[in-house]
Amino acid sequence: MGLLATFFIRLRVTPVLVFDIETIPDVAGLRRLHADWRELNDIEVAERAFSQRREKTGGDFLPLHFHRIVAISCVLRSDAGFRVGSIGAANDSEESLIQSFFGMIDRHTPQLVSWNGSCFDLPVLHYRGLLCGASAARYWELGENDHDFRYNNYIGRYHTRHVDLMDILAMYQPRASAPLDDMAKLAGYAGKLGMDGSQVWQAYCDGRIEEIRSYCETDVVNTYLLFNRFQKMRGVMDGVQHAAEESLVRDTLQRLPASHWNQYLASWPATSPAVA
């Protein structure tokens, strides 16, 4: 990794936690609200919900409180280095995944980073955390116990403890937002591999939960790499530091055994065209 990258690691103070979730329809909740659906199987319940939504909006995307979380993937960049993975095991309960995520915030008080997290990931985590009885004291701190959070907390849209990279780059204008896949590929990174969010339900029905988790992990790496590009643009990193950080990510992924990282690295050229 070299002396420069090592020195850069030592300079870090606040851990960075990049996160992404994958969801499926909450068929149990839908049955609870629709008595006439209670004899239907999971696929039939989901299709009823999709059909209703298509009639109302023209698309399948369900209201956020009808999304059940099946994967949470994270990049944690701290003084200990760069780590990427999915929380828990593939068969862990939604409650366990959510509590583990908020537990990471309790332990690290990190800089949160997401792509569209303000409009999707965090509201879903709020609804599902409320329903499952999660504890998330640090996340919900607004300054009552820690004065530093009074004017900079995880909840405020224009605060920086959570950076929704899509939101801030679009100047908080939904019409100006860009897809993660497009931006990652335009920046020279691998982008999405294997599936997109619209395919998660079918993959889950087919028992391919590990593929869902792998897909989610590549998304957080894309987001982290774009966040570092953002940090360079705003003067937090210089060009040498940025190059060292990209080298650290690449070197770490090369050492990971899972096959999706081989595919990711094969789709990430050694020199990104936007900075060549």
Tokens of 204: 């889950």
pLDDT digits (tens, 9 = 90+) for 217-259: 999 999 999 999 999 999 999 999 999 999 999 999 999 999 9
Query: Average pLDDT in the 4-29 region?
Result: 78
Q: Which residues pair with 78 in a beta bridge?
A: 81
- On the question of pLDDT at 194 being above 80, the answer is no
Q: What pLDDT is stored for residue 8 in this prediction?
A: 44
Q: What are phi and psi of 274, to 5 degrees?
A: -75, -15
Q: What is the mean pLDDT of the chain?
A: 93
Query: Average pLDDT in the 146-158 region?
Result: 94
**Domain locations along the chain:** 2-264
Residues 6+ apart with CB under 8 A from 11: none
| CATH superfamily for domain 2-264 | Ribonuclease H-like superfamily/Ribonuclease H (3.30.420.10)
pLDDT digits (tens, 9 = 90+) for 170-179: 999 999 999 9
- The torsion region of residue 28 among left (phi > 0), alpha (psi -120 to 50) and beta comes to alpha
- The torsion region of residue 91 among left (phi > 0), alpha (psi -120 to 50) and beta comes to alpha
Share of the chain above pLDDT 90, in %: 90
Tokens of 276: 């060549």
Q: What pLDDT is stored for residue 145 in this prediction?
A: 95
- On the question of pLDDT at 50 being above 60, the answer is yes
- On the question of pLDDT at 49 being above 50, the answer is yes
Query: Average pLDDT in the 7-19 region?
Result: 71
pLDDT digits (tens, 9 = 90+) for 97-145: 999 999 999 999 999 999 999 999 999 999 999 999 999 999 999 999 9
With beta carbons less than 8 A apart as the criterion, state whether 251 and 243 touch: no
- On the question of pLDDT at 273 being above 60, the answer is no
275 band by pLDDT with thresholds 50, 70 and 90: low
pLDDT digits (tens, 9 = 90+) for 67-79: 999 999 999 999 9
